[in-house]
Structure 1
């Protein structure tokens, strides 16, 4: 069912999803867990072990009926990372990237000549906030199983907050800058939201490219690093 690259803090799930059977993977540690949909046609998908060091349980679930699922496979593993920031450099299901993507090539182009991580982050931030437009149509009818696609976001030049945060994370991770995709609530908007935390100068800072794209594209000034107290985290990837 799974293999783990424990030095990177990820688990790879290989499973042939049965036709018309909703299949999920649940990754648990203690009382906390993350659940993901497994997609038909995918030979392997990677997921982060973002609940810290310790023992994880990996369970594969298949839908029986309605909202009922049964466990079809289960295993456990131990995570012992010296630096948990490495978790946030990986390509995973909702922040999927490769070194040959147009988005990662664009990241390399944008940071040419930049000497510090702060300069690199600012260059990617400026590109996204000036280029990607909020997709109001998608926001009104977003599928429950929606997953970002950084190449689609870059090509279409529009997305919802989830897509903004995934693109920003992927571009920065491709530059070896640890970046989290975070979901939860903020005092800035009245709907469930996605943003990023970026490891800069020895600490995690909050950056919201979706919010700032609206500000910048309205010809107003935006401050890149936000007050983290304005954000309430529910999930992080």
Structure 2
């Protein structure tokens, strides 16, 4: 996936504050006690010598991919109907979910196995026609970049915060404050990010440190666990690789970028940037969307 960020200057997550909701007592939101998890159902499976693609649940917005060969490194690429090539660094052995984020259409799933130096060989390539039963499905399940189960620490804490929340907006606000208040930006990590780095929401909670991708992954996991469609987006903040999220709300639709409502005006703000300078300067910077270019959605 490459290096994600070189300093603490960028982080983007969504914050939506509505004064009437924020003033509520909490506890009115219906908490999801057991989130839906992706599964390899086995009804439609494509196999190669060392790889398998389970396409049983494409209507839900994902396929399951597994590699069992001897290669030391594996990468999966998803080529969507719009032609976007979305990479997933992969762990060997068990099945992992891969999201179908470009909606209905024909996808090509390619499993690459590392051979030597920078060379990879195709272990399996398969075209799959997809028709989603739920357009939000790709953004409601865990995957390699948003890893959690119903037993994860982040899922347990998500349920606790939901129990205190009035509604989805109140819950999003509580998750935002928890993540940005609990996690410190890891400058040392940002300067030496491993190749093909994958975030781990529980690890981020436990260490209290992370880079922009860790912030975004933790918040995405907590929102998806509670049934809120959330896009983890990766791209560029000017010339720096960066991660942020977008959230779907019934009242607003997809809310992209970083948004704060102060009771009168909608403004844009980046919490990491705000920590390093004034909120006014941060809001001015974030208001210019030309700073941000989305490449991939997970």
Using the size of structure 1 for normalisation, the TM-score is 0.87
CA distance in 2, matches of 1:107, 1:166: 13
Counterpart in 1 of 2:167?
Answer: 116
CA distance in 2, matches of 1:108, 1:184: 30
Unpaired segments ≥5 residues, structure 1: none
CA distance in 1, matches of 2:157, 2:123: 42
Instruction: Tell me how far 1:96 sits from its aligned partner.
Output: 0.8
The answer on 1:33 being equivalent to 2:85 is: yes
Return closer, same or farther for 1:82/1:156 CA change in 2, 3 Å cut-off: same
Counterpart in 1 of 2:128?
Answer: 77
The answer on 1:215 being equivalent to 2:278 is: no
Which one scores higher on RCO, CA 8 angstroms, separation ≥ 6? 2
CA distance in 2, matches of 1:142, 1:9: 30
CA shift digits 1:37-74 (9 cap, x unpaired): 2223x311111011221111222222333322222222
CA distance in 2, matches of 1:121, 1:219: 23
Bigger-Rg structure (1/2): 2
The answer on 1:196 being equivalent to 2:245 is: yes
Counterpart in 2 of 1:6?
Answer: 58
Structure (1 or 2) with the greater strand fraction: 1
For 1:1-237, what aligned pairs fall within 5 Å after superposition?
Answer: 1-4=52-55, 5-20=57-72, 22-30=73-81, 31-40=83-92, 42-186=93-237, 191-200=240-249, 201-207=251-257, 211-213=270-272, 215=274, 227=287, 229=289, 230-237=291-298
**What secondary structure is seen at the aligned counterpart in 2 of 1:7?**
helix
Aligned pairs, number? 231
Instruction: Tell me how far 1:19 sits from its aligned partner.
Output: 4.7
**What secondary structure is seen at the aligned counterpart in 1 of 2:60?**
coil
Contact in 2 for aligned 1:206/1:227 (Cα 8 Å): no
Return closer, same or farther for 1:219/1:112 CA change in 2, 3 Å cut-off: farther
CA shift digits 1:79-136 (9 cap, x unpaired): 1114321210011011011111111111111122322211110010011111110000
Instruction: Tell me how far 1:217 sits from its aligned partner.
Output: 8.8
Contact in 1 for aligned 2:60/2:134 (Cα 8 Å): no
Instruction: Tell me how far 1:216 sits from its aligned partner.
Output: 5.6
Using the size of structure 2 for normalisation, the TM-score is 0.70
Instruction: Tell me how far 1:219 sits from its aligned partner.
Output: 9.3
Unpaired segments ≥5 residues, structure 2: 1-51, 260-268
